[in-house]
Chain A
Amino acid sequence: MSAGEEQAALVPVPSAALTKAGAKSLAARGRADLRVREEAEEWLQKGLELHHQQQYEDAFRCFERGIQLNPNHPELQLWLGNMFTNGEGVPQDYVQAATWWRKAAEQGLPKAQNNLGCAYEFGQGVMQDYAQAAVWFRKAAEQGFAFAQFGLGNLFTNGQGVPQDYTQAAAWYRKAAEQGDTGAQHNLGCAYEFGQGLPQDHTLAAVWWRKAAEQGYADAQNDLGVLYHGGDGVQQDHAQAANWYRKAAEKGHADAQNNLGILYQYGHGVPQNDAMAAAWYRKAAEQGNAGAKAALTVMAQSPITLDMSKAVPLKNPEPRVTPSVVQDEDEIDLSAGFRPLSMATATELHPNEIEDLPLSVSSSARTYPALSADQRAETIRGFEATKADLQPPVLDDVSGGVRLSRS
C-alpha cells in the first residue's frame, strides 16, 4: 500500500454526494442563476441612473439587457412598462406597457399593480375595464400603496367596477391621505364636506383640504378658499380666501380664477378692482368656466357704477348659466358645475341665501370625481415621477460602468 493510497483511505467522506456530479451541478446551477440575476440587477440600477439623467435611450437599453438576463425581474418589467407608456427610449406602446406591467403585477409588485389598474381605468393598452382596475388597485392598496388606495377610493366613489360605496371610498382615501397623498387628502376632505361615507364635518373637511393645499394641490387650495369665503368649518376670512384662491388661480385652476374674480369684483379680502376681476374672469372663461363667462357678460352689459353692477347680475342669475362646456357630465354635475358663480354672486348680494347655496358644495362637487380622473391621468402620464421613484438612485449601489463591463 503506497502512502498515497493509505492517506486516501483515511480521508473520510462525510458527504459522499459532494463529489457526485448531480449535487455539484445543482449547486453550480444555483450559483450561475445568482450571478445572472445579480447582473440583471446591475443593469436595472444602471438603467435607473441613466433614466434619472434623462438618458432614456441608454436607460431603455439597460433595462432590455437586464430583462434578457432575468426575464422574471419585477422591477425591470415595471420599468419597461413605464418606458413604453412614456415613449422613453422606445416608441410609445401602451399594449407593450400593459403586458410588462401585468408580468410584474402578477409577481406582486405594488407599483406595477397600480399602473396596470390605471391602464384598465383608462383603457390604455387594454380594454377599459373598471372591475379589473378595481382588482389591481386593491392588490396594491392592500400592500399600502397610496396611489392605488386613492384610485380604489375613486372607483368606490364613482361606483366604477365596484358597487358605489362612500364608506369604503372614504376608508381608502383616509389610508392614502395619512400617507400624504394630496389627491386622497382632498377627496377625504370632500367626503367630510358632503358627509359621504362619513358624518358631515366642515371643520374636518378644512383640516384635510388644508393638508393638501399646503402641499400645493390646486383643487384643495380652491376649496379651502371657498370655506374661508363662506366661513364654513373655519372662521370666515376673505383675505385668506383670496390668498388660497390666488395660489390655485396662478396654477391655472379655472374655479379659483373665477372665485378670485368675484373677490375683486366685490372688494372682499382684496381692494375692489373691476379690471382685476375681469382679468381673472377672462382667464377662467378661456377655460370654459361658465360662471366667469356669465360674469364677464354682465360686466360688459353694465358699464355702470360698482354698486349697480353688484345689483344687476343677481336679479336673474340662472339664465346666464347655461353653458355647454360641461355637457358631457351628468345632470347633477352639470348643474353643480356652473352653479359656483351664481352662488358666489348670490352670496354677495343675498347673504341670507348662503346656506341654501353654499359656495363650497358646487366648486368641490365638480372637482370631486372628475378631478380625480384628471389626477389619475396625470399619474399615468408620469409614472416614473411617483414619490418612490423620485428618490435619486443610490449612487453607491449603482455599479457604474466598471462592474457592468465585467462579464
Chain B
Amino acid sequence: MKALKELIVRLYPTEATALMVPGKPDISYQQLVESFKKISTQLADLGIKPGDRIGICSASKSDTIIVIGACLMADMIYVPMEAHQAVSRNCAIITSNGLRAILFDPLITVSYEQHISVDSRSTILNLDFIGLALESQNEIIIHPDLAFILNTSGSTGMPKGVMITHQNAWSFIQWTTRQYRFLTSDRFASIAPLHFDLSVFDVFVALHTQATLVLFDASMAKNPLILAQYISEFQISILYSTPSLLSSLVDFGKLSNHTYLRLRYIFFAGEPYPIEKFKQLHTQIPHASYSNWYGPTETNVVTYYNMPIDVQTMTQSIPIGKTCAHMDSLMKQDPDSNLSELLICGPSVSPGYFNSRNLTDQSFILVDGRNWYKTGDLVTIDENGDYIFHGRKDRMVKRRGYRIELDELQHHFCTYPGVIQGAIVAKTRDNLVVIYAVYKSIQLNSLLDIRNFMLDRLPLYMIPDHFIRRDALPLTSTGKIDLQVLISSI
C-alpha cells in the first residue's frame, strides 16, 4: 500500500483529540477517521477516480485536512490552494495541474464560475464541490506514487507544480521521528498554510504520532498577539515555522505576557534566521530545543542544524548544517563565484514538476540512474562539516519563507498599461528582503492602481514594497536592463 495512505488507514480511531481549532469543538481520532471514510466515499460517488487531481481552495484548515485524508484513502491526488489569492493565478493552477474537481469555500465559488467550465455541482463538508469539464488534453502520465502537488512561484510567470510522492513525504516523516522524540501527549501547532511545504510536517507527523494538531488559520498566523496567546493557552509543545513569523512574535507578540512551559521543540526553515533575531527569541523561550532545517519544496528537509544550548556567544550566521541520514548531497563549483551549488539526492526528492518535462529537465539531473535536484542555493562548508548558506544562483528570493521568482513578478509588472520598461529587483535591508519595481512610463501612475493591478494577478506576499519611476533604466551593451547597476542605484 502507498505510504501516506497506509499512515491514514492505520490511524487508531480513539477518543483522543486529533484536531483542535480555537473557538470550535475538538475533533477526536475516531471522528476524524470516520470523516475520512465518509468523504472518501462521497468523492468516489461523484465520479472521482484514483489518480484524479482535486483542488482544495478553502480557508478552513480542518475541512482541508479531512479532504486530504479522504483523497489519500482513495488514491486521489490533492492540490491545496490558497483561498484568498488572485483568481487568475488559481485558474492557472487549475489548468496546469489538470484538476478534475475543486472544493471551494462557498463564499468564493462565484468569482471562479465564469473562468471554469462547470460540469457538476455538489456539497461536501461545508464546501462547494465543482466537477470540471476536462478539455481534451494530451494524456498526462501520472507518476504512480504521486500523493499531492504543491505549486510554487515559477520564473516564466506561471506557478510550477511540484509533485510529491507518498515515498517523498514518508521518508521525511520517518527521518523526523528518528531524529526527534515526539509523544502522543504532544500538541503540534499548524501555523503554516496547507499549500506551503512546512505543513507536511505539522499534519503528517502529528497524525503519525497520534498526537494533537492545533489549527491556526491565516488570520491568527498574521496576528502575533493572538498567536502568542494561543500558543500559551493551547499548550503547544511542537512548533515549526519561518524565522519571519518567529521574529514577528518577538517584535509584536508581547511574548512576556504569557508562559510557554510545554514548548519543547521549535523548528524553523524557509529562509535564514539572523543570529541576533534568533537570540531575542531564545531569551524569551530559553527552555525549548531549536533546530534550523533547510530544504526547498522539491526535496523537503535535507539538512539540519540543532542549535547549541549556549547560543548567546554565537556571532556567525546559523549554519544549515549536516545532511539528513536518509539523503545525499554534493557541492558543485559555481563558475561565477567561489561558492558551490548544493545538489540533493535521496528518497524525498520530488520526481519533478507536474506535466512539464521541460522545467523538470532544467532543475533535475539523472546521474547513474539517481535523480539529483539542483537547488540553485550557493553554499560553503565550515570546519565542523556544516553547510553555510550564502545566497542564490538565480533571481529567486525568499520572503517570509515564500519563494518569489522576481521574473514572475517582472513578467506581470511589465504588462501594466503605460510601462515602457520595467524591472523587479530585490535588496536586503536590515535582514529583510525588500522588493523594488523600477520602471519607465509615459505618465505618472497612481501607485494604488499599479498595486491593485499586481494584486489581480499575484498573491499579496509577492507585491513589490516600492515602485520607483525613472526617466531611463541602465542598459547593458546588449541592450538588456543592467540589473546590477540598477540595484546599486537604489
The yes or no verdict on A and B being binding partners is: no
Residues of B within 8 A of A (CB): none
Residues of A within 8 A of B (CB): none
